[in-house]
Structure formats: C-alpha cells, structure tokens
Amino acid sequence: MTDTFRKKKNLVDALSETLDRHPEVAFFCFDYFDTLVYRIVEPEHTKRLACRQLSIALGGDPDVDALYQWRKDFELTLCRQNEKKGLDPEFSLYDLAAVFHEFLVPRYPSITGLYDKDRFTDLFIQIEMTIELQVQRMFPDTEALLSSVKKFGASVFLISDFYIPGALFRRFLDRHGISRYVDQLFVSCDYGLTKFTGRLYGVLIEHLGAEPETFFMIGDRENADVLIPASRKMKSMGVGGYARQGAAPERATMQPSHTFESITSKRRFPSLIGKNQKDLFPEFALTLWHFIYRLFQELIRENATRVFFLSKEGAFLKELFDQFQQEQFGTAVIDSHHLRVSRKSTFIGSLQPIESENFSRLFSQYRAIGPRDFLLSLNFQEDEAKRICDALSIPFDVRADDFSKSDTFSTLLQSKKFRESYEDNRRRQKTAFLQYLESFNVDFTKERLHVVDVGWKGTIQDNMYFSLNREADVQGYYMGTITPTHLFRNNRKKGILFSNYPVKTPYYDVYAENPSLFEILLSSPEGSADAYEIRDAADNPAQMSVEDEFHAEKGVVVKMSITPEERAIFSEKIAPVQDTIRGNFKHFSESWVVSESPLPDAEWFARQHARMIFQPTPKEIDFFKSLYHFENFGNIEFT
C-alpha cells in the first residue's frame, strides 16, 4: 500500500487513519531529515560549514575551499570503494576522517604536532556533530506524531541514508528530546546499504523477522521512502517536509541562513546581542568573543596544546574560552587551566636573596609607597610588618615620594629581623609556588608555557618567569599590553586587542581608554591568590573545604583573599552582568557557526566597544561609579 505522495498538513490525523485501516501494522519506520526534523541550511552547506570550522582548528591552512573540494573527492572515492565490495555507494564519517588525516599529514607537517590520528578523528567527528546540531530544527508536530504511534503500542524505528553512524546519530534524538520514542536506528553507513537501493529495508525486515506487510514507512522522498518500500510489500506514506515549517529546500541554491551583512546591520544588532533596557555593557560580550577568537588563532599558530589563564580575571576568561571551543568545534582543541596567581602571591618567590635583590621590579612601577605597602607587597602579614616597623621606630603608614631612596628603606634593609623574615618567606613561597605549578604535571622548563591574562604590563608573567629561574620559555597573551616589562627572547608578550609596543596598534585608543572596565567585568567571586602553603596530607584532607582556600594537588593550598565588600559587589553587581555576557557570547557564537560569511572586521568590533567607552548610558555611568576595588599590591588601598 502506498499513500499518494503529497503534503500532509496533519500527520497525526493521517497516521490515526492509517492505524484504523491497517490494524496489522506493528512497526512504524520514519525517515529523519525533512520528516522529523529539518535543517535551516541546505544539506551540502553543513559540510562546507564543517570544513570552515576544521580550517580554523588547523590554523587557517588549508582553507575552507580546499578542504571542501577534498571532502567531495574523498566521499566519492569511499563510495566507489564500498561498491567494489558489493555494497551500496555509501561511506562513514569515521572513514572520511581517516582519509583526511592520511592526506593532510604529509602535506601539512604542523598538523602532526597538534593532532595524531585519534585526536584528529575526534575533532573531525565533533565538528560535524556540532554543525548538525546547530542547524537542525524539529518540526512542531514531530513529538506528537511519535507519541501517538507509541500510544498505539507500535514499535518505532528510524531509518536513514546518512554517513553519521547510529551511535552518534542518537545524539540528534537526545538533543531534540525524542530518543524515548525510537526503539532502534538503522543508518545506512553502519551497514554499507541504503534505502535508495532498498537493501537497507531488507536488513530491517530480516533483523525483526516479521512480515513486510506489518511495516509502515513514512518519509519525504518519493522513491527511497515511498515507492521502494512499497515494492517490498511494506506500507508507506510520503510527507512534504518542506511545506511544514522553515526547512531549506534540498535542491535550492545554497544560501547561508545568516550573513554578517544582516547580522552586523543596525537593524539586527540589538537582537544579536540580546540588548534591552536592563542590560549593562551588552557589547562587552562581542569584545570578549573577538579576543577569544583571536587568542585561539594565536595558540593554534604556536602549536599550543594547553594554555593557562592567570589571576582572578582568568577564571571567567577560561570559562569563555572553553565555551567558545565547545560551540565552534564540539570539543576542547586546546586544554585550558586556571592558575590562581596574583602579583602579590608570585612576587616574593620571584626575588633574589636579600644580598643581591634591589626590588627594582617593584619600585619601577611604585615609587610613592611606604613601609606598609612595601612589606605587604612582599607577602608579610600585617601584624608582623607592623612589629618590624615599631621595633625600628619607623612610621608604618607614611609614604615617601621615592621610597627606594628614603632613609626608612635603608633602615629596613639593615634590619636583621627583616632580612631573616624576608629570606624565610621568600624560600617558602617559592618552593610552594613551584610545587603548585608541578601539580599541573607539566615540565615548564621543557614545554613552552602559554599564559593568558587581562593585561597590562605582564607583571605576573614576569614573576613566574623569574620564579622559574629564567629557564622557562613563556609566551603571554593579553587583552592588551601597555608598555610591557621585561621582554626577553624566552619571555614574550602579545596584546591581542591592543598594544603600544613597539608601536600603537589600530584602535588602541578605543580599548586602552578605560582598562578598568576589563578588570571590573572579569572579576571573580573567589578573589585573588594571596599566598601558597604546603601541607601534609594529614593536615590537608581531600574532603576539607575551607572558605578562601583552594586545595590543589601535591598538598598545595592556595590562600585566597577577598574582602566582604568585594564579595558583595560581585554578587549584587558583577554576576548579573557576567550572566548577560555569557548569553550574548553564546548568541553571537552560534550565529556565526551557521553562517559562511566572514567575520566582521576589527574596525566593526572596535566600534561596538567604543559605544561603551564614549557613549555610555546614564545607568552604566552610575554602575561604574558605584564600584571600588581593593588593591593588594604596590599601593595597598581601596580604589
């Protein structure tokens, strides 16, 4: 029995009629694409989008055009090889990934350093799945359709000519929430046999050992889903998927569902970033997305396999970096870690023994400080610092215009108590900090250390570099750099969005006008790293959870510091803004994944950022004026 191949406005009613007329039907078989779900782009376009994402993950070389052409050639070759084996012209995504890797490695040796065969295959598969999941939409009546069949008591099978194996295909059903309705999948690439030839239907019938008349096939293709199953004595019905809602016609000229000509227009811009009257700094998500995208490109070019995000701002940046990778590739191409470090926590361990230390790295940035500022920056406890000053009869809180040349500083340097405490603290903090680095199981003297921070001079990177006795090869990446310090062959720094060294980059004055905006909106509820301790296992049980402490591996405890006022500000003011950033970041990211158009240029991103700097709303101005920050290094004070 074949129902006329026509458009069904109400499939649920149509199937109910079928069940009434054919009570012998026990097995319902559904095609997937354009029957249960549709794509918002033409099918072949999903492959091109996947090639674009693969090109990005490979560093842009080979480009999308080359990858797409090779893909078409490889698919054809695999189909022919399958036919020579007596099967149908079909291929599996896993076989395609293997052929790609074998082809690319000798031609692009840099790929070998990033991806062995297994890692490349995983990347290839995850990208494909990510694109498919992004472009698929379920028809509004699909769940009701499947539910009605299950209520009747019939079994439901999904049968599809597709190159993604059933084990992965199940993820599509999970995403749409319809897995519970489907008893089993029959996907052509798992068997090398297709619906188009009818041989996949033979597999289905033989597998169940039932009469063909007890099967009912529903799909959108007249030949593969209606006529061929009918020729095998199965019942069948054709549905016009394209007329149901929003599907892209398969034979239509390929058109991206979104283009940046529309996405970046003034008309679409507010909706793109979810801007409304309650949002503060909504464009900041675009700035962060632009930074993360360019950071990823830099890391890939450097063949980095892992990256360390520094300081309290690094926690949120790491989160967005991981989110970016999942949204773009479906997997972590580059492993990321959060290093709980600060200028204060890393400074003392980076210094020399007192006999050879002149503290120039502190004084070059902070001239007008006092004994309290100096000692607390060296990680002295405040009560100990005060006792030392009292014993020497020097003013604890009085700042000098140039502390390094003051009598107070000379007196401190000659103090036996200061010298002993300094050396003890320096050794303990350096040992603990290096052990903290070791907890990541990386030999930083052999593997290049890629670090990311908000900016501006790269002081924490310098501290790490000197703590590692200048033996590590450190590459720093920053939102921006403003006169970066201590640049050496193996201690490099790069401002991703802006830099004034060696010359000003384009749009420097836009991004550098208010660097505090970055620091404020990227802050963390756990505060800054204050110091490091090594504790025995008996004193540091794994289940222990102490506020303001982070327990790392190898018995290292990172003591965190945040004032109650700062914690309240984060909870009440910063956290809601970060939630908006997450949503806008995701919206922009997913919009781009399904668009083949190129990204907006650097000027466009700079213009979006410029709105926040040069045309803030009254609400944004009031928000910014209501905040303050406790500076725990250099000038110890609230700002």
Which pLDDT tens digit goes with each residue over 307-342? Answer: 999 999 999 999 999 999 999 999 999 999 999 999
Q: How far apart are CA 321 and CA 301, in angstroms?
A: 16
Residue 241's pLDDT band (boundaries 50, 70, 90)?
Answer: low
**Does 536 score more than 60 pLDDT?**
yes
Q: What angle do CA 251, 255, 260 make, to 5 degrees?
A: 170
pLDDT at 19 over 80: no
Which tens digits make up the pLDDT trace of 392-445? Answer: 999 999 999 999 999 999 999 999 999 999 999 999 999 999 999 999 998 887
CA pair distance 472, 464, nearest whole angstrom: 9
Residue 277 pLDDT grade (very low, low, confident, very high; cuts 50, 70, 90):
low
pLDDT tens digits along 118-167? 999 999 999 999 999 999 999 998 999 899 888 888 899 999 999 999 99
Q: Where are the alpha helices (DSSP H) in 108-195?
A: 109-114, 117-135, 142-152, 166-176, 188-191
Residues 429 and 467: beta-carbon distance below 8 Å: no
Q: Check: CB of residue 89 under 8 Å from CB of residue 80.
A: yes
- Residue 393 phi/psi, 5-degree rounding, is 55, 40
DSSP type of residue 599: P
**117-131, 381-395, 454-468, 552-566: the lowest-pLDDT one:** 552-566
What's the pLDDT score for residue 553?
A: 84
Identity of residue 28: F
Band of the pLDDT at 23, cuts 50, 70, 90?
confident
CA distance readout (Å), 16 to 48, 214, 234, 428: 40, 16, 18, 77
Helix (H) or strand (E) holding 534: strand 528-534
**Sequence-distant (≥ 6) Cβ neighbours of residue 496 within 8 angstroms:** 291, 294, 295, 298, 477, 478, 479, 480
Cβ pair 397, 370 in contact under 8 A: yes
Question: In angstroms, what CA-CA distances link 253 with 37, 52, 222, 357, 594?
Answer: 20, 19, 21, 70, 16
